[in-house]
Every structure is written in C-alpha cells, then in structure tokens.
C-alpha cells in the first residue's frame, strides 16, 4: 500500500524522482581475431522511473550493445548496471531469466512473433512461463490487444498481418506481463515512416499512461522528439544527453 | 510453467513437423516391436520348455532314491550313480527330510509287482505303496473314486493306475478283456477283485519237480478309485497304503522282491515352491542320497536358453538403438531450426529448466507413442506368428503384461536419454546469439 503510494507520488511530482536504471562506467570490448573492438568505452547515465528514453547514434556506435547489456542478454567487460536496485552484471543465467520475468519487457526490431500462434496466443505466451492459468492469460492478452487497437485481429497469424500490426502484437506481448521497464531495439526499423510514427505514438502513449520506463534504440534522430531523454552515442561513448520537457 | 502447458506446447511442436515426427515415431515403433517380439519368442521358448518338463512330473517334486551319491565335492554338477553302495531310507530319514526348510510334504514309498484278478481276467500291476496320509499332496489326479485310506485292519484298498482296467486279459486265451467298442469289461463298481503276488496262482505251469513251496495267498481287495492320465507319470502306478503293503509283505516274502521291512525304496519330497527345489535338493544330496528333480533339469535347460534369449534381445536392441539415434538426430535438427525461437522464449522469460523440459517432453512423447505403436505391432505380429506360422514348430511368442508395460516405459526411457543432450544444448544456447540467428 505504502509502496504503491510512493510510486504514484514519484510519477506525479517532478521533484521526488526514483532512479530505476543506473549505468556506471560501462565498458564492453569484443575481441575479433587479435583486435579489440571497443563497442562501449565508459558509459554513464541514469534514468528515473517512468521516463522514456531513446538511444540515438550512427550505425556501429554501440546502441544495440548497450541495450543488450542492460537487458542482461550479454555480460559487460566492466562497469555496473543497476536496474530496480539489482546488479544485472552479477547475475547468472537463471537469475537473469527470473529478473527479465519480473522486470523487463522486450520489443524486437523484427517482431519475432511465433509464426504458428495467433495474435492472441502470441501475446499470452510470456504468461505461460509465469505459470498463469489459460483463462486468465487469455483474458489479459485480449485486453492488451484491445489497448493496442487490434481487437479485430485476435485470431490472425503473424503472416496474415501487416508489419505495423505485427509490431503492435509485439508491443502487447512486451507489456502483458506488466513489466516496470520496456526495452526496444529499433522497434520501427522494419516499418515505413507513416506506420513508424503511428507505432511510436502508440508505444509512448502506453508507456506514459501505464508509467513504464521505456528505453528505445533508434537511429532516426526525429524519434528523439517523442521522448523525455535522448542519449547520443558515438563510437561507444555518450556525447550528449538531451532532456526534453514533456509536451502534453 | 505448468505441466499441462508444457505437454501441449511439446505436442504442438511435434504436430508442426508432422512428417519428421511420423518418421521418428516409426523408427521407435519398429525398434520397440523388434525388441518385444524377440523377447516374447524367448519367453515362449522358456514356456514351452517348462511345459515339456511339467509333463515329466510336478516341478516342486524331488525324488530321493536309496542309492548313495558319489563324493559331491568331486562331481559338483554331474550326478554319478554308484549302484554298489546302498543307503538306508527309513522313517527317521523321512522325518529329517521333513525338517529341511522349504519342504511341504514328504512321502515314503515302495514298489512291487503283483497280479490283480477279476473273475476270469487278470492284469499285472505295478503297486506303489504310499503313505496314504500324505499322498493327496503329491498330485495324483483321480479319474474316479478316491485315494486309498490309511490301512486300519485287514482290508486292502487299491486305487488303480490309469491303464489297468484296459489291461485285463484272460490268461488262458490271452484275449483282452474289452468289448467290441473297446470299453473294458472289468469295471470298478461291478467287478470284484483279488490280489496275489504268486504267479502260480495265475498261470498253470508244469511242475518242475523241484522242491515246491506253498502257493502264495489270494487277497480280497477293495478297488476304491482309478487315476486319470492327466497325472502324467504318476498315473502309471496302482496305489496302496504302505502299511497295508508291508503287512502283505510279511506273508509273501518269497514272491515280493526288492522289499525290506521298515525301509523305503524311494522318498518323494514336495517343496513349497519351485524356488526352494534346488536348495532342498542340494541339502538332500549332501546327506548322501541321490536326489533328482524335474525342476533342476528345467533350470539347467532354461539357463542354457537364457543365452539364446539374450542374443534375441540384443538383435531387437540394435533396432531400438538405431531408433534412439534417430530421435537424437531429430531433436538436434529441431534445435538448429528453432535456435531463434529458443532465444525469443528465453528473452520472454522461459526458465532454463523449462526449455530443457520442453525438449525432453518432446522426446518422451516420441518414445511413448513409438512404444505404444510398437507394442500394438508386436501383439499383431505375435498373433500372426502363433496362429499362422509357428503353431506346429513348437515355438511360441508370449507377451506378458510386464513385457508390454516394460516395453513402453523402456522406449520412453530410451527416448528421454536420447533427448538429454539436445535438451542440454537448447538450454545452454545464449539468448542473444539465438536471437541474432536467422
Ligand atoms: N558479437 C560481436 N562481436 C564483435 N563485435 C561486435 C559484436 N557485436 C557488436 N560488435 C561491434 O560493436 C560495435 C557496436 O555494435 P552495435 O550493434 O551496438 O551497433 P549499433 O549502434 O546497434 O548499430 P546499428 O545502428 O547498425 O544497429 C560495432 O563496431 C560492432 O562491429
Ligand atoms: Mg543495432
């Protein structure tokens, strides 16, 4: 009860903010043959709960690497990643999976829906791993699909939907588990510019209304306009952080 | 993740690749069927052998003879009979045998040849003097009437051997005592019977002129029953209480050969179960007697057949091994195919154990279905073999319940083992490289 009040309070006031993601001196070096590739060389930044942040930069600047490290999909070379007060870099595989179950939703560039499942089943899928009963998860999935505007496409398979519709299913799937943080790697990268804007609006809308923290990678600088914070990367380093005031 | 979801996802993944699943299941079915049919032939072989030996007599019976048994330490397995040295079988020994653990009943017996007369007809009979009190437990199967009671007074009760009624003949004409339809003219209820041990009462020889002994007596006897041929070897003998026979012996010492008062020619020992037989028999042998049991012969025979059985099983096993490799191959293939999918479900929060569980469940399904189908095929094959092909060949295919249950469990187990490595590989796939895979 008290906690819920605190979270609501944090979202309401701009003075009292809770840091949910804290990145300290994060480095990632790949070794290719005998050459060391410094994908990330000392990243520092933090995000507050409920903030929408985008990571922008040229191709090869390390955006995807940063996101993958934050989501625990691979381990850093050095540095700390503190998410929801937990040190992601210290977790083992099983702990990471549990952590993702509890805190993280993921939106992929290439949608990555299960081709043999309908939209509804795809959205309900992550709930299977949480041991939820079929009735309950179908109900949640239906609600989620309605809120992304796909109530007419519940029974469609991914191949029977447009790119934009597929990504909406992807968004619904990322949010159905009610995660605190959503990661998205170029969620509009496979869409044309008009659909892109629609999808981007949708993601940001939902994130705002549900008070989710959203971290999104994009190489389209225009997208920065949708967000609270824009982290600019170049050659594995933060060159600039833009703070937008919300334009509600 | 609930077991129900795990099962339904595994089933769906198998359905998605129908042809490949079908082929893998087919392999498993052939493997299971081949091993089941092979083993069933082995079991059939043992069963046939057992029936043959059962025909020789009861499997729980040990026959002890009054011969000694040559030094058991030197001739550990093969029995060497030494006709020269006789050992005594008497009431004391019978009691000793009774005390051996695993023994259910002990019956002493003697045998003597006599003549049974009924009106103008006569039949030679092999009389077995048995302890009437325990005879019942030794598997004499009656065709009619009852077994002789323990003798109390001067009346003599006989239970005829199965053949006896048919064997009556006229000693003067040597005509058999059967009517036109082949039925015996002598019958239990209508005829009267007399017993003698002196052949001079039957055949009228010329007097050789030597010193003549008085003729043996004729005894009036009550025939109380007849044995059925179902009793196997036992049906051959005519039974009489051993005490009654001993009494006759006292009056017919000159005509009854091989008997001695208070001593037995043979003792029958019945064990509680076939498992006890060999131990009891060894014990009796160590007491210096020659003991023989059908069970021992059966076990030796079955021991030899076990090798053949193993060979049959191994031949079936090869097919199952090939099928197991097939499962492993199928599962590995599907991991390569589903690399990306595995990565996605890992990112979506599927636990490591659940991923391994999904793949193991798929393997187990293949094993279960393959095993069940294979079992069905085995029953069909077994039926065809038994009815069409081998009925006359003396070979049989028998699938007992434990074999059918065991086969399904075994094929599931084999499938699980084959699925273990692929499942482990799937579990260890890095989520990131999996997602990157195209
Ligand atoms: N697994 C890897 N092994 C070696 N080098 C890698 C690996 N992954 C990324 N890199 C390198 O790290 C650097 C950053 O890559 P990253 O994928 O983060 O770039 P990006 O900003 O996402 O680019 P894009 O906008 O094209 O997706 C690149 O130079 C890349 O070559
Ligand atoms: Mg990238």
CA–CA gap between residue B59 and residue B298 (Å, rounded):
9
For residue A229, give the nearest of A51, A62, A69, A83 by alpha carbon: A51
For every residue of A2-29, DSSP letters joined together read: HHHHHHHHHHH-SSS--EEEEEEEEEEE
Q: Does A101 touch chain B (CB under 8 A)?
A: yes
Place of tokens 């009854």: B256
Pairing of strands B238-241, B156-160: antiparallel
Pairing of strands A19-32, A181-185: unpaired
Which residues, at least 6 apart from A175, have a Cβ–Cβ distance to it below 8 Å?
A: A105, A144, A182, A206, A210, A212
Residue B310 structure tokens: 């193993």
Residue B213 near residue B138, CB atoms below 8 Å = no
- Which band of pLDDT confidence, cut at 50, 70 and 90, is reported for residue A11? very low
The vertex-A136 CA angle with A173 and B2, nearest 5°, equals: 85
CA-to-CA dists, residue A244 to A220, A221, A224, A238, B271, angstroms? 17, 14, 9, 17, 98
**In this structure, what is the dihedral angle of CA atoms A134, A136, A140, A146, given to the nearest 10 degrees?**
80
CA-to-CA dists, residue B2 to A42, B279, B415, B425, angstroms? 43, 54, 22, 22
CA–CA gap between residue B281 and residue B169 (Å, rounded):
42
Nearest residue in A to B340, CA atom: A112
Residue A52 near residue A214, CB atoms below 8 Å = yes
Position in ligand 1 atom list of the atom nearest CA A233 = 21
Torsions phi, psi for A145 (to 5 deg): -65, -35
Q: Does A177 touch chain B (CB under 8 A)?
A: yes
CA–CA gap between residue A100 and residue B434 (Å, rounded):
16
Residue among A93, A101, A114 whose CB faces B349 most closely: A101
pLDDT tens, residue order, chain B (438 aa): 889 999 999 999 999 999 999 999 999 999 999 999 999 998 988 888 888 887 777 788 888 887 765 544 444 444 544 444 677 888 888 888 888 888 888 888 888 888 888 888 888 888 888 877 777 778 777 888 888 887 777 778 888 888 888 888 888 888 888 888 878 888 877 788 888 888 777 776 655 555 567 777 888 888 888 888 776 677 788 888 888 888 888 888 777 776 777 788 888 888 888 888 888 888 888 887 888 888 888 888 888 888 888 998 898 889 889 989 988 898 899 888 889 999 999 999 899 999 999 999 999 999 999 999 999 999 999 999 888 876 666 778 899 999 999 999 999 999 999 999 999 999 988 888 888 866
Residue A239 near residue A76, CB atoms below 8 Å = no
CA–CA gap between residue B78 and residue B72 (Å, rounded):
9
For every residue of chain A, DSSP letters joined together read: -HHHHHHHHHHH-SSS--EEEEEEEEEEEEEETTEEEEEEEEEEEEEETT-EEEEEE-TTSSHHHHHHHHTTSS--SEEEEEETTEEGGG--HHHHHHHHHHHEEEE-TT----TTS-HHHHHHHHHHTTT--HHHHHHHHHHHHHHTT-TT-TT--GGGS-HHHHHHHHHHHHHTT--SEEEEESTTTTS-HHHHHHHHHHHHHHHHHTT-EEEEE-S-GGGGGGSSEEEEEETTEEEEEEEPPP--
Residue B302 structure tokens: 């079955």
Residue among B5, B348, B431 whose CB faces A126 most closely: B348
Strand partners, A233: A57, A238
SS3 B151: coil
CA–CA gap between residue B412 and residue B161 (Å, rounded):
56
> What confidence tens digit (pLDDT) does each residue in A76-111 have?
999 999 999 999 999 998 899 999 999 999 999 899
Pairing of strands A19-32, A35-48: antiparallel
Closest-CA distance of chain B to residue A228, Å: 26
Residue scoring higher pLDDT (B218 or A164): A164
Residue B232 structure tokens: 């196997």
In the reported structure, the alpha carbon of residue B331 is separated from the centroid of ligand 1 by a whole-number distance in angstroms of 32
Residues with CB under 6 A from ligand 1: A 30, 32, 37, 39, 57, 59-65, 219
Nearest residue in A to B354, CA atom: A129
Position in ligand 1 atom list of the atom nearest CA A236 = 14
> What confidence tens digit (pLDDT) does each residue in B116-136 have?
888 888 888 888 888 777 777
For residue B17, give the nearest of B344, B336, B323, B321 by alpha carbon: B336
Residue B317 near residue B22, CB atoms below 8 Å = no
CA-to-CA dists, residue B203 to A85, A246, B123, B186, B374, angstroms? 119, 136, 12, 20, 71
CA–CA gap between residue A80 and residue B198 (Å, rounded):
117
Phi/psi-derived region of residue A22, left when phi > 0, alpha when psi is between -120 and 50, beta in every other case: beta
The reply to whether residue B348 touches residue A129, judged by beta carbons under 8 angstroms, is: yes
State ipTM: 0.88
Position in ligand 1 atom list of the atom nearest CA A66 = 18
Nearest residue in B to A131, CA atom: B1
For residue B31, give the nearest of B316, B311, B383, B313 by alpha carbon: B316
Cβ neighbours of B203 (radius 10 Å)? 10
Mutation test of ligand 1: which of A40, A57, A63, A221 has the most ligand atoms closer than 8 Å to its C-beta? Answer: A63
CA-to-CA dists, residue A178 to A88, A139, A210, B189, B231, angstroms? 19, 14, 9, 98, 82
Nearest protein CA to atom 1 of ligand 1, as residue:
A30
Contacts with B9 from chain A: Cβ below 8 Å: 128
Which residues, at least 6 apart from B73, have a Cβ–Cβ distance to it below 8 Å?
A: none
Closest-CA distance of chain A to residue B8, Å: 11
Residue B111 near residue B129, CB atoms below 8 Å = yes
In the reported structure, the alpha carbon of residue A40 is separated from the centroid of ligand 1 by a whole-number distance in angstroms of 9
pTM: 0.74
Residue A89 near residue A79, CB atoms below 8 Å = yes
For every residue of A156-199, DSSP letters joined together read: --GGGS-HHHHHHHHHHHHHTT--SEEEEESTTTTS-HHHHHHH
Q: How far apart are the first and last CA of chain B?
A: 27
> Using CB atoms and an 8 Å cut-off, which of residues 347-376 of chain B contact chain A?
347-352, 354
């Amino acid at each position: 009860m008290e906690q819920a009040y605190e979270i609501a309070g944090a979202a309401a006031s701009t003075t009292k903010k809770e840091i949910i993601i804290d990145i300290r001196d994060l480095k990632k070096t790949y070794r290719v043959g005998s050459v060391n590739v410094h994908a990330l060389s000392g990243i520092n930044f933090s995000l507050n709960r409920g903030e929408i942040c985008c990571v922008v930069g040229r191709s090869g600047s390390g955006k995807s690497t940063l996101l993958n490290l934050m989501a625990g999909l691979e381990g850093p070379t050095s540095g700390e990643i503190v998410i929801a007060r937990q040190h992601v870099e210290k977790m083992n595989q099983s702990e990471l999976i549990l952590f993702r179950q509890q805190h993280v939703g993921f939106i992929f560039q290439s949608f990555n829906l299960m081709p043999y499942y309908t939209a509804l089943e795809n959205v309900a899928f992550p709930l299977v791993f949480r041991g939820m009963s079929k009735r309950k998860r179908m109900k949640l999935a239906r609600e989620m699909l309605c809120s992304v505007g796909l109530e007419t496409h519940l029974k469609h398979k991914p191949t029977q939907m447009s790119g934009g519709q597929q990504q909406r299913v992807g968004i619904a799937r990322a949010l159905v588990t009610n995660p605190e943080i959503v990661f998205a790697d170029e969620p509009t990268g496979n869409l044309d510019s008009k659909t892109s804007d629609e999808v981007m609006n949708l993601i940001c809308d939902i994130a705002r209304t549900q008070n989710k923290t959203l971290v999104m990678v994009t190489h389209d600088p225009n997208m920065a306009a949708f967000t609270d914070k824009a982290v600019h990367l170049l050659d594995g380093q933060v060159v600039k952080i833009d703070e937008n005031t919300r334009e509600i | 993740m609930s077991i129900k979801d795990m099962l339904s996802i595994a089933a769906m993944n198998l359905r998605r690749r129908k042809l490949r699943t079908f082929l893998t299941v087919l392999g498993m079915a052939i493997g299971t069927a081949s091993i089941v049919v092979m083993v069933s032939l082995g079991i059939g072989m043992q069963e046939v052998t057992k029936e043959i030996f059962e025909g020789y007599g009861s499997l729980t019976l040990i026959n002890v003879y009054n011969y000694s048994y040559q030094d058991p330490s030197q001739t550990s397995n093969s029995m060497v009979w030494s006709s020269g040295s006789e050992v005594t079988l008497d009431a004391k020994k019978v009691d000793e045998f009774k005390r051996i653990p695993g023994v259910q009943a002990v019956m002493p017996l003697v045998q003597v040849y006599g003549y049974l007369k009924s009106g103008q007809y006569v039949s030679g009979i092999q009389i077995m003097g048995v302890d009437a009190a325990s005879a019942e437990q030794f598997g004499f199967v009656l065709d009619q009437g009852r077994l002789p009671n323990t003798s109390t007074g001067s009346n003599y009760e006989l239970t005829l051997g199965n053949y006896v009624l048919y064997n009556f003949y006229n000693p003067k004409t040597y005509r058999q005592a059967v009517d036109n339809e082949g039925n015996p003219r002598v019958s239990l209820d209508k005829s009267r019977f007399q017993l003698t041990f002196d052949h001079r009462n039957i055949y009228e020889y010329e007097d050789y002129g030597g010193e003549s002994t008085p003729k043996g007596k004729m005894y009036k006897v009550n025939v109380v029953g007849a044995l059925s041929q179902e009793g196997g070897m036992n049906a051959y003998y005519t039974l009489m209480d051993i005490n009654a026979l001993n009494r006759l012996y006292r009056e017919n010492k000159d005509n009854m050969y091989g008997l001695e008062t208070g001593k037995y020619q043979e003792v029958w020992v019945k064990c509680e179960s076939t498992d006890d037989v060999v131990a009891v028999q060894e014990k009796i042998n160590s007491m210096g007697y020659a003991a023989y049991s059908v069970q021992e012969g059966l076990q030796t025979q079955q021991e030899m057949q076990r090798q053949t059985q193993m060979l049959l099983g191994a031949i079936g096993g090869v097919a199952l091994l090939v099928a197991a490799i097939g499962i492993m191959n199928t599962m590995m293939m599907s991991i390569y195919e589903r690399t990306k999918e595995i990565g996605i479900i890992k990112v979506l929060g599927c636990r490591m154990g659940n991923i391994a569980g999904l793949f193991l469940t798929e393997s187990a399904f293949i094993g279960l279905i393959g095993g069940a189908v294979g079992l069905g095929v085995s029953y069909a094959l077994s039926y065809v073999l038994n009815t069409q092909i081998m009925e006359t060949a003396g070979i049989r295919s028998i699938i007992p319940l434990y074999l059918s249950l065991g086969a399904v469990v075994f094929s599931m187990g084999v499938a699980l083992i084959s699925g273990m490595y692929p499942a482990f590989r799937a579990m260890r796939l890095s989520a990131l490289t999996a997602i990157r895979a195209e």
